[in-house]
Structure 1
Amino acid sequence: MMTDIRNATRAVDAATVMELLPARPRLLALGEPTHGEDALLDLRNELFRQLVEREGHRTIAIESDCVRGLIVDDYVTSGTGTLDDVMERGISHGWGASAANRELVRWMRAHNVRADAEGRPASERLRFVGFDGPLEITHAESPRRALTALHAYLADRVDTGLLPCAAGTLDRLLGGDDRWTEPAAMTDPSRSTGRSPEAARLRLLADDLMALLDQQTPHLLATGSRESWDRARLYGRTAVGLLRYHHSMADPSPARMTRLVGVRDQMMAHNLLALAERGPVLVHAQNAHLQRPKSSMRMGGVPLEWWSAGALVSARLGSGYAFLATALGTLGHQGVGTPAPDTVEGLLYAATEEDHCLVDAPRLAEALGDTRPAPRRSPWFGYAPLDPAQLAACDGIVFVKDVPESR
């Protein structure tokens, strides 16, 4: 069996990835089983470089705040701001401090600047995208930023009489942002403002603003740039998603947490589907956000199941979506030692000598035959092993044998 498993592995590079896939996808998703490991992010960066140089990719999307990501995109496309500033303000979840993320942004900016002073043509510039909602573990952001940006875009371009409300009405209904970002609301639905009369009115107004944006598309594209229209759509999706998320935060029912994780991945999926229009795109996030089968986790001892962004997007795009899961052998600095030999990770660990490799998942499943690998158990909550039952739902697996501590 070891020989058959070795025959299912190959080098991790853009050419072998494309050879592995049945069709050229608009969205190529690369998952990770844990966050914050520069070795995994370095591998992502190298794959993106190869996709840019050999396969014509121009965009990378990572699991970060979609609105804050515009700060990074402005930097890599036009040099707005400084690298230090955009890493602090443009990437959420604290991941702007990652050396690998910093190197990604630095390289993208350098790539976009040609030897002459003009820089690359707009059509050839690399683009950076955050595709997560403006959500953190401690709170969800106020919808103010996204909602007022959408309103301002429309107010500048359409007849005032078509607007569902004035900017002052939004400001009054939104109130103080601390109402929305109250940390206690994450665990206590009674502390959330998401089902207040003001929030209910804002949800209707957000829907009306999005409808107006859609109705006025021919005029907006004829009189302005597609770039500004795309941003307005992003603001609208974010405002609607945030208001829906806050509504679910105020839900006292047992389904509350399932709704919250579902809304988050739905927001991710909507952003990815919009990105698919400009593909091809490399997408990077936790495996659970990108897989095709239902995702699951335990939160506060309660089991949760929901359809991930990847599942939602795959259902819509079919072969236009491809998913490579990342699996790892050891993560010694987090107490994750050599995997048990009867797990998928253990079989790959014993069969491979390279630091990392690309595994043909269908061929691996064929090599295993009737052998059913055992699920791996992690001693550390921050690492999620590969579910062997989902092997057939992966287009490939990137296996990293030993993950060193981040620099």
Structure 2
Amino acid sequence: MANDIKDIAHAVQAAFALDLFAVPPRVLALGEPAHGVDAPLRLRNALFRELVERAGYRTVALESDCVAGLLVDDYVATGAGSLDGVLARGFSHGLGASAANRELVRWMRAFNDGRPASDRVRFAGFDGPLEMACAASPRTALTALHRCLADHVDTGLLPCTAETLDRLLGPDDRWTDPAAMLDPAASFGRSAEARELRLLADDLGALLDTWTPHLVTAVPREVFDRVRLYARTAVGLLRYHYWMADASPSRLARLSGLRDHMMADRLLALAERGPVLVHAHNSHLQRDISSMRMGGMPLEWWSAGSIVSARLGEDYGFLATAFGTLRHQGVHAPPADTLEGALYAHGAGTCLVDAAELAAALGSPGPGRRPSPYFGYAPLDPAQLPRIDGVVFMGDVPEK
């Protein structure tokens, strides 16, 4: 079997990745099985550079706050701000501390220097403004949406004033109390103010939609796209906060699904302007239903990738990543009778394999799923191979 895999293993390069598809997908998703290591991020950087230089891709989207990411996009496009500043404030989930992400942002700024706007590379966060311990206040998105509409639409059509929004929103800490993640009673999401804000956000979004013919000529397309992002984010955050206050057994599964729904909406909007490389955990990008255990309960929800794939069809491509070892986390050489074990045995280190060819090489009944001694590493499920386009395998993944 090792020899068979050697025959189908290629370097992780844009040419081999795009050969997996009849036409280059508008959304090419590159997954990772664990967060917190830079080696797969550096591989992502190299692939993105090749996709930019050889295949016309111009956007990279990361599993990071979509609103904060606008700071990074401004920096790579025009040099606004500073590298250290955008790394500190433009990323969520601690991603700004990654040396590989610093390298990516620096390269993008250098690539764009002196280029016309139409040819620049773009950065996007595609996660909601959500952290593990809390969800953000809807203030930033909601007030930015209202401000744009107030500047360009008859104020008599606005459902409320900016002062009304400010009063209903109140202090941000009422929205960001970390106790609400585990205790529905601590959530502000079903208060009278939050319920009224949900209606106002819906009305503001509808006003944006109905005035699209005017707004697309009154403001640059870039500005209009950002206002659409603010509208989606405001509605999504208020919906998320509402369900944080839910005390039913389905609460965590629903919240997981709502997060991926926000991700999918962002990716579909990004795809409207051209091909995009997306990088996130495999579980957010896979076509299969996602699952995990949280608080002792099994959860299932449809991932962003499954939603986008259902909408875009062949314009969505998914490359899943698997590791051989992650020794600093106790993940040692995989058992030979697993998918990772078969790939590790071929000895090529890092490679890209057509998922259908890999399934054929593994044979029937095929290998079992690898157990993981580390909760932060999710082994690849061999049963998903028919719904994966390619597998990126990294043999021995260093800590840094």
Q: Distance in 1 between matches of 2:388 and 2:34?
A: 17
Instruction: Show the 5 A alignment for 1:56-135.
Output: 56-113=56-113, 119-135=114-130
Partner of 1:257: 252
* Secondary structure, counterpart of 1:391 in structure 2: helix
CA offsets 1:156-196 (integer angstroms, 9 cap, x no match)? 00000010110111111111111100000000000001111
CA offsets 1:329-352 (integer angstroms, 9 cap, x no match)? 00011110000101000000002x
If the length of structure 1 is used for normalisation, what is the TM-score?
Answer: 0.97
Partner of 1:279: 274
Q: Distance in 2 between matches of 1:222 and 1:71?
A: 24
Q: Structure 2 residue aligned with 1:299, among 266, 287, 294?
A: 294
Q: Distance in 2 between matches of 1:33 and 1:106?
A: 25
Contact 2:25/2:314, CA 8 A, preserved across alignment: yes
Partner of 1:116: none
Q: Distance in 2 between matches of 1:157 and 1:338?
A: 60
* Secondary structure, counterpart of 2:63 in structure 1: strand
| Deviation for aligned residue 1:36 | 1.6
| Deviation for aligned residue 1:368 | 2.1
Instruction: Show the 5 A alignment for 1:217-236.
Output: 217-236=212-231
Instruction: Show the 5 A alignment for 1:7-406.
Output: 7-113=7-113, 119-351=114-346, 353-406=347-400
Contact 2:25/2:275, CA 8 A, preserved across alignment: yes
Post-superposition, which runs of at least 4 consecutive aligned residues in structure 1 deviate over 4 A?
none
Q: Distance in 1 between matches of 2:126 and 2:221?
A: 19
**Which residue type is aligned with residue 379 of structure 1?**
P
| Deviation for aligned residue 1:7 | 2.0
If the length of structure 2 is used for normalisation, what is the TM-score?
Answer: 0.99
| Deviation for aligned residue 1:376 | 0.8
- Root mean square deviation of aligned Cα: 0.8
CA offsets 1:13-54 (integer angstroms, 9 cap, x no match)? 000111112331100000000012111100000000000111
| Deviation for aligned residue 1:366 | 1.4
Question: Structure 2 regions of 5+ residues with no counterpart?
Answer: none
**Which residue type is aligned with residue 309 of structure 1?**
A
Q: Distance in 1 between matches of 2:163 and 2:226?
A: 22
CA offsets 1:233-267 (integer angstroms, 9 cap, x no match)? 00011101100100110000000000100000000
* Secondary structure, counterpart of 2:371 in structure 1: coil
* Secondary structure, counterpart of 1:401 in structure 2: strand
* Secondary structure, counterpart of 2:61 in structure 1: strand
Larger mean Cα displacement after TM superposition, 363-372 or 39-48: 363-372
Counting matched residue pairs gives 400
| Deviation for aligned residue 1:2 | 2.5
**Which residue type is aligned with residue 192 of structure 1?**
S
Partner of 1:5: 5
Question: Structure 1 regions of 5+ residues with no counterpart?
Answer: 114-118
Contact 2:349/2:396, CA 8 A, preserved across alignment: yes
**Which residue type is aligned with residue 368 of structure 1?**
L
Q: Distance in 2 between matches of 1:100 and 1:21?
A: 28
* Secondary structure, counterpart of 2:152 in structure 1: coil
Q: Distance in 1 between matches of 2:190 and 2:207?
A: 24
CA offsets 1:360-393 (integer angstroms, 9 cap, x no match)? 1001111222132111111111111101111111
CA offsets 1:283-313 (integer angstroms, 9 cap, x no match)? 0000000000000000111110000000000
